[in-house]
Each structure stands twice: as C-alpha cells, then as structure tokens.
Structure 1
C-alpha cells in the first residue's frame, strides 16, 4: 500500500497569498483611476478662441467728398393713358405753377368715346322713363283688381333694371370725360422743370416721363461715400457743404438719408444731406464739396459674433495676453449695416485683444488658447 503525501501548511497558504496580492493590486489600480478622473475633472477647461487686435478708425468724410445739389422733392410726370404727343409746352429750366399745362395728347379717340357714352346714357334714360310709366300704370291696375300680381312684378323688375342701366351709363360717361381730361398733362405743384421726355409727334406709353418737376425750395447735397465711411460715421454728423467754385459760399446740413445698399459698380452709398437755409448760389445741379464740421470720433468695427447681448447689457471678451484669460468688458454700440460689422463707440482702446469666435461659450476668468488672430479690427 502506497502512502499519500500530505501538503504542509506553507504549501496551503501560497494560493491565498496570491489572491490577496491580486486583490490589493486591483484596489490600487481602481484608486489610481478614480484619482486621475478626479484630477481631470478638477483641471480648468482651456478653450480655443480666435481674436483680433483693436485698431480704432475715423469717419472717412473727415476729409472732403464731392457731390451735387439736388431737390429733395422731385417727381416724374406722365400721362395716365397712352397716345400720340402733339404738344409739349415746357423745357428744362422753365418755372411752372400748379395747374399749368405741360403737354397734350391727340384726344380724337377719347372724344369719340365720350360721344358714344353720352348716346348710351340717353338711350338708358329713355328706357327708364318708359319703364317708370309702365310700372305706374300696372300699380294702379293692381289696386283696382284689373291686373295680376305677376304682371305688376314684371313691370317693377323692368323699372329697376332701367334704373340700374342709367347708373351704369352715367358712370361710363364720367369715365369717358376723365379720359378726355387725361389727354392734358398739368403740373400738380410749383417747381422747376429739371428734365423732359419725348418730343411732339412721338407715341408715349402710360406713365412714361414727359416732364420732371423739382421743388427748389428744399435742396439737398448728395454724395457718394465709401462703405467703410458709412459704417464708421458719427451718430449725428454735422456736414459743411461748400460750392466747388467758390469755397466761401457754404451751408450746414445734417444727414437725412443713407442708401441701405451699395452701388454694385462703385461700392459706395448715396448720402443725402438736408441743407439749412442754403444760399441762392447753391442751385440745383451745382457741384459742391462736403466735410465734417466737428472733429471725427474714432470708433471700432468688430465682427458680429464678437459682441454678446445679454439682457440689457452688451459686452465683449477681452484677453489678458500674460495670463491667457478672458475678462468681460461692457461696450456701447450703434446699429450698422445689416449683416455687416458692429460699430463700437465706447469701451475699447487701441491694442485690446478681443475674442471674435467662441465668445458665447466663455466665462469670467476662463483660460483660453489663442488661435488665428486678425491683425486689426478694421481699416478706413
């Protein structure tokens, strides 16, 4: 019989020691992972941003621009019907008063139509008299019981139909009379003729310009200003307008209108300056120069994403280049062109670094990593 060898106590403890060491290692790894995750959560988030360096610009009309004097109110007058022009009584430069005859069309067709309308009215009125008499007779016969209700209703219907025909014929006659009047073009206001259209003998279309009437009492200076100058213009600029050939003849005005869309060829905006009591020498069509009367104030142009609107506050994020952190700064702005840069009038100084992309995901004192940087905010 073979004897079985019994393991010693040391041999029994060896697997248990391995199990204890494995468990301890697993707990150590788990603790390291939790500590690393906690440290990762506690680490500040560094956000990449795009920035630009502020460079204030001034209104480009701080020099002078050349323009012309135009009337504020100007109208192109034309006929309300088409026809052959047989006479034009005015020319460029003529002064006219309200009610003056400017031009005439051949009115033979319109007068023939008027005679036809008058004849139709006479026929309708005769039928109306006959229908009224018939209705009156049938009404008396109905009272005496000598006719039926059906016959009286037919007579009443004929009377009402005749009345309606008279109303329609009167309206047609009035329309024909109006069309005869439309063959004469008269001035609807006092003014000066600044342009004329077709000459006598030509066929004109409805609404085609025959004479352009301007009111010289209200004159404006009209300039074409570059787009950057329009965006960076002062809020209420005062413009001094001088006659090009005589700089001592001047007038002061304010901006009344700026065209919202730039000219597709010149890329300039039309600016209209309402003049205050302009001298007579500033006539319509005169060449003038314009310049800012007050010193221009520098402004800053920023891309729209750089400006944050929160409740009633408008601010931007300014970067501290040493600490690589951002700080909120309140600014004052004014409306610019739709889809264009935002004009900042106060709150920024030259050299400030402003966040232009990623501004809506920042917090006070947050660290950032600078990405692509635009050299300046704008260029005049």
Structure 2
C-alpha cells in the first residue's frame, strides 16, 4: 500500500470522526439548564427575578346560540309558490315568509262553506217544523209521537250543522298551512327551499332566530362549576372580535353530560351587534392564585427549537435555556412565564 492511499484513508477517517462529533453537538456550546418560576424589579436593562402572585384560571370553549330560534317546516304537500325572504333578512312577527300553492285547499274551503250554508238551512227548516208540530200537539191535532219525531229531526240537523262548522274550520286551518309566517321578530338564518320546489310534511323550509337572545353556551367541567354562580362576570375571548369582552352568567344547567362530565353555562355578552349563532368563543374561569416568574417576551431569544435568556452571573453574562409557560399582559407589554430554567434572584439581561 503506497503513501498516497494511506493518506486518503486517514483523511476519510478524520472526516468521518468530525461528522460524528458534529452530530453529537461537540461544536455547540453547552447551555446550563436550571428549574424555577418569576417577575420582579427592573433596573435598566436588568431584571431581577422575583416570585409574583397571579390569578390562575382555566379556559373553556363555547359557541354563540340564540335562546329563541325556530326551524319552520311544511305541514302539507304542495309546490312552493313564492319565497319572500332570504338569509340575513330582518322580519317582524307575523310577516309572510313564503307561500305554498293552495288552489285545491281554497276550493275545499269553498265547498265546506257551501256545506255549512246547506246545513244551516236544514236546521232552520227543522226548527220551524218542531215549532209547528209543538203547537199542533198542544191543540190535540197531532199525537205525542209526532212531536218526538220532529224533535229528533231538529237535533240531527243541529248536529250536522256543528259537523259542517268543524269541517270548515279544518279546511281553513289546512289552507293556512300554505302561508308560512314568522312566529317572532328576528333574522332569517337559512332558506332551504326555492320557488318551484315541492314541500312535504316535515320538510325544513326556513330558519330564523332572535339576535336579542344570543348567548355564549360553554361546557364547564364539574371541577370548576363550584366556582361559578348566577350573575358572575367572566372574561370571554371571541375570535371574530379579536378582543376580550365581559360575559354575565345567566343560566347553569343542573345536569351534566355523562360523556364529558361537563355542564352547560350560558352567558350574556356585552358586545356590539356583530355576532351570529355558531361563532366560537372561550370563557375564562378563575380557579385560584399561584406564584410565577415572568420575563418580558421581547427579552426571550430562540434558536431552532430552543428558547433562552441571558443571565448576569458571577462568572459573567451567560446564555440559559428556559421553558416557557403562559403569556400575560403587564405594563402594557406581553410577559411570558418561565416554568423552568430560572430561579428567584437571577438577574436577566436584555441583549
């Protein structure tokens, strides 16, 4: 084996060794790791870590729901003749929302009206016959049996009149099913049919809700339920508003969901009229207090997957890896909780 070959093998071995050392982190400075929690005094660009007492809370998801809402369905089979509203329209109680074809129903109403008129005529005739027969019987010109016969005819005619009245009322009610009206004032949230569609009994036609009755319905775990009471005000975060608002607890359902072991809590929000059913929100429930260490978010640096701060020690300024917790607003800037890597008394330096 010549000298050139030996040098190539040695160079390859050296390169392979350097790769292994690099993969093992041999060329990266070792960063000390310590554990603790803080926020404290600030002097210039140095912050001395001190434990700060903060309110501890838990967040629960919820969505906006209207207490008064309705899904209107058809009660007869008929073609949709006219749809007068669309999603987003504001309606008043009693406004006509859509109409179904009702020619056959109207014809049935007219038939029942005529039947009622005929029944009324028969009743009038039967009553006159009864009065005449009653006079003749009192004069002894007709037997008592004849009076019983005309009385039965009169009663039968009056019963037929009542049946005709009920039939007419039923026909008019069926005709009324062809006109769909708003049961209360609100906003149309969905229109499910169009002109020309065929509606069948139970088929969904339109939905509406009252925006004045919107509530945030949140599922609160039973461990936090004991901390709530009717009338409590809690902070609520709505994604659509990108800000926190206040919510007042107005209802707590006294039965838990057996699967999630949570209770439905409803809150009225102090928000502008820009909310709709189904919008997502989070309600924060205070559950006590705890102590922590906090650092301004701007003082925290990140390199890859590691987060660290600069600490002033007796040996000089050193970089220390930390583990972050929740973010809080303090002094009009975001502060981050340090759950590991610092302890009370450390001096964090802004670099």
Cα 1:296/1:78, change in 2 over 3 Å: farther
> Which residue does the alignment assign to 1:90?
85
Q: 2:138 pairs with 138, 143, 146, which one?
A: 143
> Which residue does the alignment assign to 1:106?
101
**SS in structure 1 of the partner of residue 115 of structure 2:** helix
> Which residue does the alignment assign to 1:336?
none
2:183 matches 1:188: yes
> Which residue does the alignment assign to 2:193?
198
- The alpha carbon displacement at 1:219 in A equals 1.6
Question: Given that residues 130 and 151 in structure 2 are in contact (C-alpha distance below 8 angstroms), is that contact kept between their aligned partners in structure 1?
Answer: yes
Q: TM-score, normalised by structure 1?
A: 0.55
**SS in structure 2 of the partner of residue 278 of structure 1:** coil
**SS in structure 2 of the partner of residue 91 of structure 1:** coil
Cα 1:245/1:178, change in 2 over 3 Å: closer
- The alpha carbon displacement at 1:269 in A equals 4.6
Distance between the aligned counterparts of 2:226 and 2:118, measured in 1?
A: 72
Q: 2:284 pairs with 270, 273, 291, which one?
A: 291
> Which residue does the alignment assign to 1:280?
273
- Name which of structure 1's ranges 240-249 and 169-178 shifts more when overlaid on structure 2: 240-249
> Which residue does the alignment assign to 2:222?
230
Deviations 1:188-220 (A, max 9, x none): 111111123233323323343312111111221
Q: Kindly report which structure 2 residues correspond to 1:262-341, keeping only aligned pairs within 5 A, or say none.
A: 262=257, 267=260, 269=262, 271-292=264-285, 294-296=286-288
Cα 1:235/1:224, change in 2 over 3 Å: closer
> Which residue does the alignment assign to 1:333?
none
Distance between the aligned counterparts of 2:225 and 2:265, measured in 1?
A: 14
- The alpha carbon displacement at 1:221 in A equals 1.3
**SS in structure 2 of the partner of residue 63 of structure 1:** strand
> Which residue does the alignment assign to 1:77?
72
- For structure 1, the residue ranges without an aligned partner over 5 or more in a row are 1-60, 299-380
- The alpha carbon displacement at 1:281 in A equals 3.9
For these two proteins, the number of residue pairs brought into alignment is 232
> Which residue does the alignment assign to 2:12?
none
Deviations 1:314-356 (A, max 9, x none): xxxxxxxxxxxxxxxxxxxxxxxxxxxxxxxxxxxxxxxxxxx
Q: Kindly report which structure 2 residues correspond to 1:23-34, keeping only aligned pairs within 5 A, or say none.
A: none
Question: Given that residues 222 and 263 in structure 2 are in contact (C-alpha distance below 8 angstroms), is that contact kept between their aligned partners in structure 1?
Answer: no
- The alpha carbon displacement at 1:126 in A equals 2.0
> Which residue does the alignment assign to 1:217?
212
Distance between the aligned counterparts of 1:174 and 1:243, measured in 2?
A: 51
Deviations 1:225-259 (A, max 9, x none): 5xxx3344334254321222444341222262448
Cα 1:85/1:282, change in 2 over 3 Å: closer
2:113 matches 1:118: yes
Question: Given that residues 86 and 188 in structure 2 are in contact (C-alpha distance below 8 angstroms), is that contact kept between their aligned partners in structure 1?
Answer: yes
- The alpha carbon displacement at 1:224 in A equals 4.6
Q: TM-score, normalised by structure 2?
A: 0.59
Q: Kindly report which structure 2 residues correspond to 1:2-17, keeping only aligned pairs within 5 A, or say none.
A: none
- The alpha carbon displacement at 1:268 in A equals 7.2
**SS in structure 1 of the partner of residue 284 of structure 2:** strand
**SS in structure 1 of the partner of residue 204 of structure 2:** coil
Distance between the aligned counterparts of 1:223 and 1:285, measured in 2?
A: 12
Distance between the aligned counterparts of 1:249 and 1:168, measured in 2?
A: 63
Question: Given that residues 214 and 268 in structure 2 are in contact (C-alpha distance below 8 angstroms), is that contact kept between their aligned partners in structure 1?
Answer: yes
